Structure 1
Amino acid sequence: MTKLVLLHRSDSIYEDELDTRYDFPKAYLKAMREGVGDWVVYYEPVKAGPRAYFAVAKIAAIIPKPGVADRYLALIEPGSFLPFDENVARLIEGRPLETVLSHPDGTPKKGGAQQQAVRRLPEADFARIVNIGLPQHLEEMEARRYGSPSSAMAEEALTFERPILERLTRRAYRDVAFRRRVREAYDYRCAISGLRLRNGGGCPEVQAAHIRPVDKQGSDSVRNGLALSGTLHWMFDRGLISVAEDWTILVSRNKVPGGVVDRLIVPDGRLRKPNDRHDWPHPENLRWHRENVFGQVSMTPDEVLPWS
């Protein structure tokens, strides 16, 4: 197994869906096969946008692309994709983070390897990039933003360094990383109510909801997330509301009183999307929610409707 850097351009002719598949030509097949079962770092070149290194994922398998000669798909292991908390620049203090892109004196090379869409990534380079993009103390950092972390958390942060692969797979860490990116993408504003509220301690009221749950093959991509207030998050998960293809907010009218709709949903009835199109909800995730959750989840006898 080999770790890789995979180049991605948002204007690419290749049909990438980074949390599920990576589309590539035959020229890179050998390197991609070496990466099966291992982690990759996604990279956006400078001329294509500002993100540089911006996410990690794990390759599960390589298959020929159906109907296209000499093209292949790297299938991403479900639940492995994770965007970085902060995008990582290609150069730190003028030196590349990838040793293959450096001269022996540490200065950056020009052309050649940096133009390749698939690059092998040494373990040390992978660790360096991930440690910047996904800091080991991310959970403590999040707790400190809105109050003091527990003494146990603070003590653990001082004495225990979590291995990188544990961070990439531990659900609690991934939940914090997902929440931070989704709430930031929506500017801490609920996508359905339009409200941007904070409690007395300055903590945002808005939550991060998975559109397609992780246990249903959903990913931790921002494109599988919505920033929602607590009540609307509950309603979304219970199938009382959803989002149409044209971004109209759908409501299960036989279960949700009109007065509740008037109070909780923006007057024009349309989803508030992030400013960055990279972060807009993916249409396939919304379709999955409409077809599998909206109007189909039965309430348990002991559930109390929030407007009762």
Structure 2
Amino acid sequence: MIDENDPDGFGERPLAGFTHSIDNHLAFYRFALTAYNFRCAISGLKFAPDALILHEHLQVVPIHPRELGGALEIGNALVLEASMADAFARGLITASDDWQVIVPRPEALAEEQRQHVVAGRVLFVPSEPMFRPVAKNLQFHRLTIARFHR
């Protein structure tokens, strides 16, 4: 029964996946930047830690996007420089299950992106195994976002 005085939304349970607060997202964002040591996973470019809430050059990008059922967890995130983040989100860059960079359509990359992407190079991942990208998320990205099939 609906209770009008219930502060949690008339007694309804929050939907899974929509219960994360902005504080949780910011904490996750800072955690990912630290786990990747402020380094772009694709290019290897390293940046100084930024005192601002959001880093000027780096983005934390979901491998399996949340809106497509991906989880908010470190194994589903890459830290990428802004231009690499855009190319990854568009499927112009992806990675194998063993973290090798794949560029399905190199001609689609901008010149500045091509300068920093080496197909076949292993992603720069955290040294702690628990924080590294999970193969099932990379597979989802390859097959669904990049539409890369061998």
Q: Who is 2:23 aligned against?
A: 173
1:259, CA displacement in angstroms?
A: 7.0
- Alignment-mate amino acid for residue 42 of structure 2: I
Q: Who is 2:126 aligned against?
A: 274
Q: Who is 1:133 aligned against?
A: none
- Alignment-mate amino acid for residue 63 of structure 2: I
- Describe the SS at the equivalent of 2:142: helix
Cα 1:268–1:258 change in 2 (3 A) is farther
- In structure 1, what is the Cα distance between the partners aligned to 2:120 and 2:138? 19
TM-score by length of 2: 0.74
Q: From 81, 87, 91, give the equivalent of 1:239.
A: 91
Q: Who is 2:10 aligned against?
A: none
- Alignment-mate amino acid for residue 75 of structure 2: R
Deviation sequence 1:156-197 (CA, Å, 0-9, x none): xxxxxxxxxxxx533x33321221111111011111111112
Q: Who is 1:222 aligned against?
A: 74
Q: From 177, 183, 189, give the equivalent of 2:39.
A: 189
Cα 1:199–1:275 change in 2 (3 A) is closer
- In structure 2, what is the Cα distance between the partners aligned to 1:182 and 1:199? 12
Q: Who is 1:255 aligned against?
A: 108
- In structure 1, what is the Cα distance between the partners aligned to 2:50 and 2:31? 22
Cα 1:200–1:227 change in 2 (3 A) is closer
- In structure 2, what is the Cα distance between the partners aligned to 1:280 and 1:259? 26
Q: Who is 1:208 aligned against?
A: 60
Comparing both chains, which one has the higher relative contact order based on Cα–Cα distances under 8 Å and sequence gaps of 6 or more?
A: 2
User: Identity across aligned pairs (percent)?
Assistant: 27
- Describe the SS at the equivalent of 2:140: helix
Q: Choose between structure 1 and 2: higher strand proportion.
A: 1
**RMSD of aligned residue pairs (Cα, Å):** 3.0
Unaligned runs of 5+ in 2: 1-12
The answer (yes or no) to whether the contact 2:62–2:78 under 8 Å persists in 1 is yes
Deviation sequence 1:99-153 (CA, Å, 0-9, x none): xxxxxxxxxxxxxxxxxxxxxxxxxxxxxxxxxxxxxxxxxxxxxxxxxxxxxxx
- In structure 2, what is the Cα distance between the partners aligned to 1:211 and 1:253? 20
- Describe the SS at the equivalent of 1:169: coil
TM-score by length of 1: 0.38
The answer (yes or no) to whether the contact 1:197–1:204 under 8 Å persists in 2 is no
Q: Who is 1:291 aligned against?
A: 143
Cα 1:187–1:289 change in 2 (3 A) is same
List 4+ stretches of structure 1 deviating above 3 A.
Answer: 198-204, 257-260
Unaligned runs of 5+ in 1: 1-37, 39-76, 81-167, 297-308
